[in-house]
Structure 1
């Protein structure tokens, strides 16, 4: 099933790229002008970013239909710094997000928590083809707890944390789309919270315990490992465009197949973001993220049947708030 929807996604994205075609001369000149405005000693850099702050509040007093008063907020920031000089293309980006949800009489939970750094250095071989190296680091800021058992910790800073480094080729047919394919990528999963590492969370080897005659653990013999090394193939596809004057769209797809164990179980991280701009300071955003990782075990229900194991994760966020560009 994963292979099917992955193929569909790639086909749809590729067809969109060819339909978009190359930028016109006017657009290319505009892009060059933006880069040259920040030229330093012949090195052309294009830099920018956006900060968004979204709030939602519900207040109920003697409400006959029932419900809970709540307040939530999400802060997001995205920035980039890209260099173009001769045959060199160096792209760098950072994405940050943190959100909280507070409901009357309940513990405050996170609604979003992530940070991600990406860097890709390429040397143009011919036309839109580049020989490239890619580095990606991502994790979260604070502890995460099970929504159904708010004292059970399930994640923390760098638990999990991911580091990927790969060598491959990058195809950039226009300013909207890029496709990076690496047949040689190292992926390291970090679990730096020892409680989670001892439990074997996120695929690391769990702790080994000495047990009594009843099978109860009495002493930890070996601590759980804090990392998991994988080696395989990695694909990254990104596409962004202005659909209309005040509507922009961005999508990013990451796929990873581990050569060392069950390569048919492909890790998927697919994000989409729509931005509907009202004016220079106010915008609405709609974002989705789909994740599948065969090393992450999750408790979930299918009807009345309880399951525990890898499954598809999905997140959708709709926000209205302030937007600041820099």
Structure 2
């Protein structure tokens, strides 16, 4: 039951957006046409354009006296990926929200486990200095809905543990509505670990997600680069990729944090679609269990990778 509430919450936030389906249809069609043809962003009509994709994938297996063996199981993932963008004259405001939660329960006596858990909000406001170049400010928030555990059942994460809040001012290059590059040489990022249990057993100089033992947050100042590309490749195929790079000037600036995501959506019909989502993360402050060549266990940074392939209900807003 502990994973049911976040799953339903992600749906309750996402599904009301379906009511916007007809509100901005004309503006969305114009924006979609611009995406396909590469029309410059300044030709897109002023006002709001909204879009979103809701995906719900479920799997259920029931075995009774099955000679080949195995366990009954149930799993599901709900994901919302939406945007709300505003443009008027030389001003532009882009917003995106990603909510995802998934879990599985195998009927073999083990507890339910998460398979996905994500909250991410991005906002960028810009003023056009000259064609395709904006003076812009960005805000980003990332966290998760509920607690996470390692293979030994030890809690290693929770809501707001970690959480990342980023605020920066810089230049945004956006030659068209498909592509943008934002760079800020001075960006503030707050790393939050609001769960004391994650620090249990650690020394006074140890850190969790970069936060020193005894604290609940760590303020970082650094350089930030964000790239984004989106495209409607065909009538029923959309592609989105975005990458974030951050270097903390205050501690180990050579260790650059990397987040790179791709999302493919293959629409089968009005109600069904296949989605392929990948996320690659490298954060030097995230310590993960590893084993050296001699078989000795230790913790250290490592490249994280997640791939999710789903086929199920899909609503394109």
Smaller-chain TM-score bracket: 0.7 to 0.9
- Structure 1 residue aligned with 2:208, among 194, 201, 210? 201
Work out whether residues 52 and 323 of structure 1, in 8 Å CA contact, stay in contact via their aligned partners in 2: yes
Higher relative contact order, structure no. (Cα contacts within 8 Å, ≥ 6 residues apart) = 2
* Cα distance change on mapping 1:120 and 1:283 into 2, 3 Å: same
CA distance in 2, matches of 1:81, 1:205: 37
TM-superposed CA distance for 1:50, in Å, is: 2.0
- Structure 1: segments with no counterpart, 5+ residues: 1-19, 36-43, 207-223
TM-superposed CA distance for 1:45, in Å, is: 1.1
Counterpart residue number, 2:83: 80
TM-superposed CA distance for 1:162, in Å, is: 0.2
CA distance in 1, matches of 2:89, 2:181: 20
1:119-147 alpha-carbon deviations (Å, 9 max, x no partner): 1010101111001100001100111111x
TM-score of the superposition, structure 2-length normalised? 0.82
1:198-240 alpha-carbon deviations (Å, 9 max, x no partner): 543212111xxxxxxxxxxxxxxxxx10001111100111111
TM-score of the superposition, structure 1-length normalised? 0.80
- Structure 2 residue aligned with 1:47, among 45, 50, 70? 50
**Paired residues for 1:27-38 under 5 Å:** 31-32=44-45
* Cα distance change on mapping 1:280 and 1:22 into 2, 3 Å: closer
Work out whether residues 191 and 197 of structure 1, in 8 Å CA contact, stay in contact via their aligned partners in 2: no
CA distance in 2, matches of 1:306, 1:239: 40
Counterpart residue number, 2:9: none
Larger radius of gyration: 1
Counterpart residue number, 2:60: 57
TM-superposed CA distance for 1:173, in Å, is: 1.1
Match of 1:249, SS?
strand
Counterpart residue number, 1:235: 225
CA distance in 2, matches of 1:228, 1:312: 22
Match of 1:196, SS?
helix
TM-superposed CA distance for 1:63, in Å, is: 4.1
CA distance in 1, matches of 2:197, 2:228: 36
Residue 135 (1) aligns with residue 161 (2): no
CA distance in 2, matches of 1:45, 1:310: 42
Count of matched residue pairs: 276
**Paired residues for 1:1-326 under 5 Å:** 23-24=38-39, 31-32=44-45, 44-105=47-108, 106-146=110-150, 148-150=151-153, 152-197=154-199, 199=202, 200-206=207-213, 224-301=214-291, 304-326=295-317
- Structure 2: segments with no counterpart, 5+ residues: 1-34
